[in-house]
A = this chain, B = another copy of it.
Amino acid sequence: MLNIKKPALLLNSDICKRNIHAMAAKAHEQKVVFRPHFKTHQSAIISEWFREEGVTTITVSSVSMAQYFAQHGWKDITIALPVNLLEIEEINLLAAKINLHLLIESVETAAFLTEKLIAACGFFIKIDTGYHRTGIDVSNVVLISKVLEASKSPKLHFDGFLTHSGNAYHAKDKQELINIQHYASENLLRLKKNYLSQYPECIISVGDTPTCSQMPVLPGIDEIRPGNFVFFDVMQFILGSCTLEEIAVALVCPVVAIHHNRQEAVIYGGAVHLSKEQALLPPDPEPVYGLAVKWDRKNWDTTTVLGKVSSLSQEHGILSLTQTGCNLKPGDLVAVLPVHSCLTASLMKEYLTLDGEVIETMNS
Interface residues of A (CB under 8 A from B): 4-6, 39, 61-64, 81-87, 90, 105-106, 108-109, 112, 132-134, 166, 254, 256-259, 262, 266, 268, 271-272, 275-277, 311, 313-316, 318, 329-331, 333, 342-343, 346-347
Contact = CB atoms under 8 A, between A and B. Distances in A.
Contacts of A6: 62-64, 84, 86-87
The 4 A-B residue pairs with the shortest CB-CB distance, nearest first, are A85-B331, A82-B256, A5-B86, A82-B257
Contact of A311 (B133, B268, B275, B342): B133
A122 B135 CA distance: 58
A263 to B, nearest CB: 12
Contact of A256 (B83, B258, B313, B347): B83
Given A6-B64, A85-B254, 6 more contacts: A5-B84, A39-B314, A81-B315, A86-B333, A106-B257, A109-B257
Contacts of A4: 86
A271 B266 contact: no
Nearest to A261: B137
Nearest to A311: B133
Contacts of A112: 330-331
A170 B24 CA distance: 47
Contacts of A84: 5-6, 254, 256, 268
A76 to B, nearest CB: 20
B132 A343 contact: no
A266 B82 contact: yes
Contact of A271 (B256, B262, B343): B343
Contact of A316 (B81, B318, B329): B81
A134 B257 contact: yes
B266 A133 contact: yes
A315 B66 CA distance: 14
B256 A330 contact: no
B313 A133 contact: yes
A286 B84 CA distance: 28
Contact of A82 (B63, B271, B275, B330): B330
Contacts of A109: 257, 330
Contacts of A259: 134
A108 B328 CA distance: 12
A254 B86 contact: yes
Contacts of A318: 133-134
